[in-house]
A and B are shown apart, each in its own frame.
Chain A
Amino acid sequence: MDYFLSEEQQMIVDVARQITDEMIIPQRSELDETEEYPRDILTSIAKADLYGLYIPEEYGGLGGGCFEMALALEQFARGCTGVATAFAASALGAYPILISGSDELKQKYMPLIASGEKLAAFALTEANAGSDASGIQTTAVLDGDEWVLNGTKQWITNAGEAQIYTVIAITDKSKGPRGATMFVVEDTDPGFTYGVKEKKLGIRCSSTRELIFKDCRIPKDRVIGRVGMGFITVMKTLDQSRPGIAILGVGLGQGALDEAVTYAKQRVQFGKPIISFQAVQHILADMAIQVEAGRALVYSAAKHIDAHKNDMSKASSMCKVFATDMAMKVATDAVQVLAGYGYMRDYPVEKMMRDAKILQIYEGTNQIQRNVIGQELNKEYMRS
Chain B
Amino acid sequence: MKIIVCVKQVPDAKDVRLDPKTNTLAREGVQSIMNPYDRHALEEAVRLKEKHGGTVTVLSMGPPQAEEMLREAVSCGADEAVLVSDRAFAGADTWATTYTLAMAIKKIDDFDLILCGKQAIDGDTAQVGPGLAERLDIPFVAYVRKINDCTANTIRAERLMDDGYDLLEIPLPALFTVVKEINEPRIPSLKGKMKAKKIDITKLTAVDIEADPEQLGLKGSTTQVVKVFSPELKGARAMLGGTATEQVAQLYEKMSPLL
- A residues sitting closer than 8 Å to B (CB atoms) are 7-8, 11-12, 14-15, 18-19, 22-23, 44, 47-50, 53, 62
Contact = CB atoms under 8 A, between A and B. Distances in A.
Contacts of B193: 11, 14-15
Interface in B179-203: 186-194, 197
A44 B186 CA distance: 8
A15 B188 contact: yes
A357 B187 CA distance: 31
27 contacts: A7-B197, A11-B190, A11-B193, A11-B197, A15-B187, A15-B188, A15-B189, A15-B190, A15-B193, A18-B187, A18-B188, A19-B187, A22-B187, A23-B187, A44-B187, A47-B186, A47-B187, A47-B189, A48-B187, A48-B188, A48-B190, A49-B190, A49-B191, A50-B190, A53-B190, A62-B190, A62-B191
Contacts of B187: 15, 18-19, 22-23, 44, 47-48
A136 to B, nearest CB: 38
Nearest to A17: B187
A154 B252 CA distance: 71
A111 to B, nearest CB: 14
Contacts of A48: 187-190
Contacts of A44: 186-187
A280 to B, nearest CB: 29
Best-surrounded residue of B186, B189, B191, B197 (most CB of chain A within 10 A): B189
B197 A12 contact: no
A50 B188 CA distance: 11
Contacts of A50: 190
A11 B186 contact: no
Given A12-B190, A15-B189, A62-B191, 15 more contacts: A7-B197, A8-B194, A15-B193, A18-B188, A44-B186, A44-B187, A47-B186, A47-B187, A47-B189, A48-B190, A49-B190, A49-B191, A50-B190, A53-B190, A62-B190
A22 B191 CA distance: 20
B193 to A, nearest CB: 5
Nearest to A46: B189
A375 B186 CA distance: 48
A380 B162 CA distance: 76
A14 B191 CA distance: 13
Interface string B192-218: 111001000000000000000000000
Contacts of A11: 190, 193-194, 197
Contacts of B188: 15, 18, 48
Contacts of A19: 187
B194 to A, nearest CB: 7
Interface string B165-191: 000000000000000000000111111
Contacts of A7: 197
A49 B197 CA distance: 16
A79 to B, nearest CB: 13
B95 to A, nearest CB: 36
Nearest to B193: A11
A44 B197 CA distance: 21
Contacts of B194: 8, 11
Contacts of B186: 44, 47
A73 to B, nearest CB: 14
Contacts of A49: 189-192
B47 to A, nearest CB: 12
Contacts of B192: 49
A367 B193 CA distance: 42
A19 B193 CA distance: 14
A115 to B, nearest CB: 11
Contacts of A18: 187-188
Nearest to A64: B190
B188 to A, nearest CB: 6
Contacts of A62: 190-191
Give the top 7 A-B pairs by smallest Cβ distance, nearest first: A49-B190, A48-B189, A11-B193, A49-B189, A49-B191, A18-B187, A15-B190
Nearest to B188: A15
A129 B188 CA distance: 42
A23 B184 CA distance: 12
Contacts of A47: 186-187, 189
A22 B189 CA distance: 14
A56 to B, nearest CB: 15
Nearest to A68: B190
Interface string B22-42: 000000000000000000000
A340 B53 CA distance: 56
B180 to A, nearest CB: 15
A255 to B, nearest CB: 19
